[in-house]
Amino acid sequence: MLQRFTWLTLILLACAQLANAEAPGLKKIKDIIIYKDASYYSAFPSIVQRQDGELLCAFRRAPDRKALWGAPGYTHTDTNSYLVLVRSRDNGETWTQEANPVDYLGDGNPPMLNKLADGRLCLTYGFRGYPYSIRARLSSDNGKSWGPQIVLREDGTDRDIGYVRSIVRPDGKMVTTYYINDEQTGPERYIGATIWDPDKITEITHGDMNRQLAF
């Protein structure tokens, strides 16, 4: 009985040491607050690193109506949501806010940042204002400014769409995934994808000069 108790004690001690040990090759350096504002609900960050080491992080921000205007309650979604971009030039130690890449999102949606082979930045996101759509924007100056909104599709039947994730294929084309529902599928949402070429988008010749369509 004593021998069994001794072995059990040794096993428990070994398990405790393993639980407290760091994973091989991993060592946390520090936790950093990139952005914080008590009057706003910030969520869903996406980060990329440029070739020169500079970091850019995009996220969705929505006003906290309770904090700002005394509303009885609050939610992380709001019809005045938009996307924010912050930049770090010192390996993530400090961050500065840039001009917003998207000033209006409807109820808001998480962004996805990608770096293209030619150095441009690609931002994809769900647009929860009418028309309910999946969109993208491109930047040729490292996020200082952004081109027109590229509409990948705008056939969503209600605002509950988006949460995009995008990758760059070896041939340079983008694959953007999301959830959505449309008139053909009915109310049930499905996981969809749009394959598109950031080098081949429509030329704006009339109408809204801030919106392009992907071929």
Q: What is the DSSP string of 82-123?
A: EEEEEEESSTTSS-EE---SBS--BT---EEEEE-TTS-EEE
> What are the pLDDT tens digits along the chain (215 aa)?
545 445 545 455 555 555 555 556 778 889 999 999 888 888 899 999 998 899 999 999 887 766 665 666 666 666 778 899 999 999 999 999 999 999 888 877 899 999 999 999 999 999 988 889 999 999 999 999 999 999 999 999 998 899 999 999 999 999 999 999 998 888 889 999 999 999 988 765 444 555 555 54
Q: How far apart are CA 194 and CA 151, in angstroms?
A: 11
Residue 129 has what pLDDT?
87
Pick the CATH number of 30-213 from 4.10.140.10, 2.120.10.10, 3.90.226.10, 3.40.50.620: 2.120.10.10
pTM of the model: 0.80
